[in-house]
Amino acid sequence: MQIVETIILIISLLIVANIISHYFVSIPASLIQIVAGVIAAMTLNVKIMVNTEWFLLVFIAPILFNDGNRFPKKELWKLKGPIMGNAIILVIVSTVVGGALVKWLVPSLPWATAFTLVAVLSPTDPIAVQSIAKKAKLPDKLMHLISGESLINDASGLICFKYAVAATVTGVFSLRSATLDFFYIAIVGALAGAVMIWIFNGVRLYLINQGVDDSILHAIIQILIPFIIYYIAEDLLHVSGVVAVVIAGILNISSSRTTGAFSPEIRLVSSRTWDMLVYLLNGFVFVLLGIEIPFAMEELIHNDNMNTFKALGFAFVIWVALVVIRFIWSYFYSTFFERSDRTNFNLFSGTRFYYSLMSGISGVRGAVTMVGVLSLPFVTNSGAAFPARTLLLFIASAVIIYSLLGATILIPLITKSSAPITYRGNSINTDEDLDIDDEADDTEVVSTKTELTPNEANKVVLEKTISKLRAENLDNRDMVYTTVIAEYVFNLHNLQLKSNGPDPISKKRIKGKKDAELWDVCFNCELEAVEELYDNKKISEDGYDTAVKKIEKYKKGLVKKRYNQTTEFFIAYFRRTIRELTRFIHLPFVKQEEVIQYNHEAVIASVAGAKRALEKLRELEENDGEMAYDNLLYVFQRHYEERLELLQGKRRNHSEKFNVERINLEVNALSYQRAYVQDLLEQGKISRVTANNLRKNINYSEEVINFDIQ
């Protein structure tokens, strides 16, 4: 009962603190949460004993998994050099230099304890400055660097922290053993996280493939993933659960709208559920911090060798030292490793100085640091009290507060911006609730002769929207329209897969002799087109061989024995994984120019093959072949038309202007869908319940677009 009462109390304090923060926007919500915890500890005499293992499991796993899932993967790979430098080398340098400084400031502390304090201060909280990034005009590269760095240094810092705590508790430390163990638990932990998230991704995709698309169910599965992965890695495999959840988050199927396998409702519900969870966890951590501070201060007051003001001074010196170390490292790395002009070397640069200064101040400490310091054990293996535990807790808390205040005050001053700062877990989307008419008249009677099923109505709406967009796309040359149309065609294709009507076209759709005959005709046309391109020297020999092998592979598949749906799904999933791994392994050894040339030739060959096959299909149709093929010609034509649209979509430009225009067009397309739903309702072709369900999906899609923009 005490645990339940404690949870209710903390949630209540969190709610009150965040309500207050809406009236004092210039004060970070995290500081108000800390104050709420302090008041609760002083007035209600609340004291909470924290268990290290479950605390790391409950707080670390979901927070880091969510950070990895939300981080843009392209930027993570693009900035891998500076990110790894900041996350590993900077952490080591900070731990060594900072540990020596702490030992100098407090000589009575054991060396292992001094390093423990600095190691737990290594992880940074990137969300602390993201909300002011645009108004403050912080460089995008710096924001991506801080975010990517936090993923890795959370792992490296906490591993160092774990070893420092172990050395303090046991009194034994071997640098060689620690180094070997570090690489072992990190590498195996990364592999374990990758394998487990691959399994979870496969299960989730299989559920969708089987029609299990309950949005609440998928959200719960996503929430459970980091806890299961962390538990298996730590308790069963005895490797780093932190590294495992970070890698799992990075490789997790993204919740963005580019993941076509999941409906907009699933993606939106999952995103909002994660927002709520991280919001609560982050608030819990800072309220707990506030609850612990008075007890730490009480012990300091009774300590003859250390008082509160002296500890505050030490914490300020440590924070300044961490900022300076970070500044020096950033300036050093940008000067010697990121120079675009290798001939004209300039040691002093105002631009680099400004960038490095912002990098130093932006290294805010937050939730992960608090999770670590609150998980410090109370006793060592010998039964003695953990050395200066309350002092470490107080100094770490003070450094977090200094870093929060430093970012809050200094960043707006330097960038001449006054926007408030949002911290990890406090950046929850605050859009208004969906405007859905829940008062539908379920008893409305519509003629069963004309009423469409939900799938049929959705198909009609999508087809009308596609026709409307095509009519607006004059001469079929606007790449923005082509891209959006391709997305709608893809959605229509997925809808046809789930419908009870005729099967959509697929290379696995071989139900009779006529299907096989048409496929054979189409593949022969594609081969002729590829050979013509090669004869005219429009593609290279390698491009020709690749295209021919691909077509021959599909031709062989026409007569290959098929398995049941479940077996085919997992075979395809496994093959896709092998292809991705092969591409990832070969990519560093392939020149960028060769990759671009290969992709360009592949698109040319596929487009030419699709056009040649379409010409043949239309020729057969004109020669009264439609009846001979039982209306299959239309289905095959739609398949190749979709391929052309998808290929044109793949060649789209990803400039900022293009993305803005695409989003605007997507919003317009959703308004077309609403209009077509209303038309079907007024014509009596769908019930009010069906209309509301269709509107709900449209609203979900619009919410996903708005969520991605923010």
CA dihedral sign, ordered 456, 461, 462, 467: positive
Asked whether residue 424 carries a pLDDT value surpassing 60, the answer given is: no
How many residues are listed for the chain in this entry? 710
| 417 C-beta neighbours (distance < 10 Å), count | 15
- pLDDT value for 257: 41
pLDDT-derived band at 509, boundaries 50, 70, 90:
very low
- pLDDT value for 561: 52
- pLDDT value for 229: 95
CA dihedral sign, ordered 664, 669, 672, 674: negative
Phi first, then psi: give them for residue 503, nearest 5 degrees.
Answer: -65, 135
Distance CA 471, CA 462 (A): 14
Three-state SS for 20-33 is HHHHCCCCCHHHHH
Asked whether residue 510 carries a pLDDT value surpassing 60, the answer given is: no
Asked whether residue 588 carries a pLDDT value surpassing 60, the answer given is: no
Residue 150: how many CA atoms within 13 Å on its side-chain side? 32
- pLDDT value for 452: 82
CA dihedral sign, ordered 662, 663, 667, 673: positive
Asked whether residue 416 carries a pLDDT value surpassing 70, the answer given is: no
**In DSSP terms, which residues pair with 279 in a beta bridge?**
none
The residue behind tokens 């992960």 is 368
| 172 C-beta neighbours (distance < 10 Å), count | 10
* Residues 467-491, mean pLDDT to the nearest whole number: 73
Which segment of 159-173, 358-372, 461-475, 510-524 scores lowest on mean pLDDT?
510-524
- SS3 for 536? coil
Distance CA 237, CA 444 (A): 58
Higher pLDDT, 295 or 538: 538
Asked whether residue 621 carries a pLDDT value surpassing 80, the answer given is: no
Asked whether residue 101 carries a pLDDT value surpassing 80, the answer given is: yes
Distance CA 196, CA 199 (A): 5
Higher pLDDT, 32 or 415: 32
The residue behind tokens 């079929």 is 476
Domains and CATH numbers, the chain: 2-415 (1.20.1530.20), 447-501+653-710 (no CATH), 508-650 (no CATH)
Residue 203: how many CA atoms within 13 Å on its side-chain side? 12
Phi first, then psi: give them for residue 558, nearest 5 degrees.
Answer: -65, -30
Residue among 470, 474, 527 nearest 672 (CA) = 470
Asked whether residue 42 carries a pLDDT value surpassing 60, the answer given is: yes
- SS3 for 515? helix
Percentage, residues of the chain above pLDDT 90: 6
- SS3 for 305? coil
* Residues 288-307, mean pLDDT to the nearest whole number: 73
| 355 C-beta neighbours (distance < 10 Å), count | 21
- pLDDT value for 191: 94
CB neighbours of 259 closer than 8 A, spacing ≥ 6?
Answer: 253, 267
- pLDDT value for 433: 37
Tokens describing residue 135: 């108004």
Residue among 4, 10, 8, 7 nearest 287 (CA) = 10
Question: Would the pTM count as exceeding 0.75?
Answer: no
- SS3 for 491? helix
pLDDT-derived band at 358, boundaries 50, 70, 90:
confident
CB neighbours of 523 closer than 8 A, spacing ≥ 6?
Answer: 551, 554, 555
Our measurement of the distance from residue 579's CA atom to the centroid of its chain's CA atoms, rounded to an integer in Å, reads 22
